[in-house]
Amino acid sequence: MEREIEREREREKDSESFGYERGFLRQKRERDQVKLLPRVIKPMLFGKGYALGTPRVEGQLTVAPLRAITCAFITLQPGESTAQVRGVPAGLFYILEGSGSSVQDATAHPFEQGDLVVLPPYTYHQLVADSGNRVRAWVPQTRWWHLMGLLREEVDGFPELPPGAQRFTEGEREGFHIRAEVTGREQELIVYFGPDRECQEVFASRRKATRVKVGRTKYDYMLQLLDRENEELRTLPRVLRSRELSCEDTLFGRLKYYISYWTPVLAKGLDVYVQRLAPGGTSGKHRHFAEQLLLVTRGRGYDIHDGARHDWVEGDLIAVPPMTVHQHINGAADQEAELVSVSLQEPANHTSEGIEHMEDGTPWPG
């Protein structure tokens, strides 16, 4: 299969055929890549870097058969904190262990295990672990921000430079660069310190936007969306607390939704829920257009994807490609299993006529 993919890549490269023929070869190669890539990934848990490739689009289909979703892990020792950064993308941090605070624009928002930290776009942020415990967090992300040209990040202050980096000054801004041969990239990596003036002016203007009169035109509706966003920034929580959320017993199984299409939330783009599997129990069986990524936070078992079995244990990532019939099975008769799921909101299940349900899950005991 790998040799065939390489031959198709060469044919595409050398082809003088029409664009649609080159596109056909590219699509076929991607379908073959999906078949080769694993459905269960064993990441270097809580290490540095991204478990499924970077948030850039060239990271898709490199580690798992997913195009739009990737993730990272964060580990903080007692009292430790991340660097203070600000990016255009919104962010989510699922707290796997420990307690601490999410400091957003100098305001601390406490969290504990099982909570979901919500980071609005263009907000200075750092995670701080309490002095008495270690913090571990899972950070799912989408690649849509890169597609929109908004994958920017600002570093506050002057952090310790990574190996191979050289500091530079460019007008009023400072930063560092790393040569391409050091990083293995096609171009050198350039990172600036401090705020991006253009971004700062854009977001300052957006957040000072005055309310518009309620109208009936579609343009009025778009103006009101910004009004609503600014009101949500003032009122919505920055931490969604697990103990304040209830479980639902559904045809697919026991689910606790943190974010759904109907949830007012400051970080839009991903649906997030936790699924619990009773000892020896199964989820329902279904299929949907949206790709899905799940983290096993407790237990062991296996998935069935289009009839093929894929075993998993605690700490594994499960990748479900689009249009795949799938079901989760708890492999332990004496222990619950727990999975944290993320999938795209748009364009996904809500704009592609929903979920095709095929089989009910095991009813929750009692």
What are residue 297's phi and psi, to 5 degrees?
-100, -10
Lookup: tokens for 177: 């660069």
What's the confidence (pLDDT) of residue 221?
85
pLDDT tens over the chain, length 366 residues: 556 556 655 655 555 455 666 666 777 777 777 788 999 999 865 455 789 988 989 889 989 999 999 999 999 999 999 988 898 999 999 999 999 999 999 999 999 999 999 999 999 999 999 999 999 999 999 999 998 888 877 766 655 666 777 887 877 677 777 777 665 566 677 777 777 788 889 999 998 877 777 778 888 888 888 888 999 999 999 999 999 999 999 999 999 999 998 899 999 889 999 999 999 999 999 999 889 999 999 999 999 999 999 999 999 999 999 999 999 999 999 999 999 999 988 655 556 668 899 999 999 987
Percent with pLDDT over 90 in the chain = 58
* Pairing mode of beta strands 308-313, 337-344: unpaired
Q: What's the pLDDT tens digit per position in 231-260?
A: 999 999 999 999 999 999 999 999 999 999
Q: What is the rounded distance in angstroms from the CA atom of residue 326 to the CA atom of residue 283?
A: 9
What's the confidence (pLDDT) of residue 46?
46
What are residue 230's phi and psi, to 5 degrees?
-65, -35
Phi and psi based region of residue 350 (left: phi greater than 0; alpha: psi -120 to 50; beta: remaining): alpha
Q: Which of 236, 241, 239 is nearest to 266 (CA)?
A: 236
- Interhelix angle 218-235/197-207, nearest 10 degrees: 100
> What's the pTM?
0.86
Q: What's the pLDDT tens digit per position in 289-319?
A: 889 999 999 999 999 999 999 999 999 999 9
Contact yes or no for 105/126 (Cβ under 8 A): no
Q: What is the rounded distance in angstroms from the CA atom of residue 135 to the CA atom of residue 127?
A: 9
Amino acid type, 234:
R
In the numeric block, the tokens 């309490």 are attached to 130
Question: DSSP string covering 313-358, please?
Answer: ETT-EEEE-TT--EEEEE--SSS-EEEEEEEEIIIIITTTT--EEE
* Pairing mode of beta strands 125-129, 253-259: unpaired
In this structure, the dihedral spanned by the alpha carbons of residues 159, 162, 168 and 173, taken in order and rounded to 10 degrees, is: -40
In the numeric block, the tokens 């009813």 are attached to 363
What's the confidence (pLDDT) of residue 97?
97
Gyration radius (Cα) of the chain, Å: 22
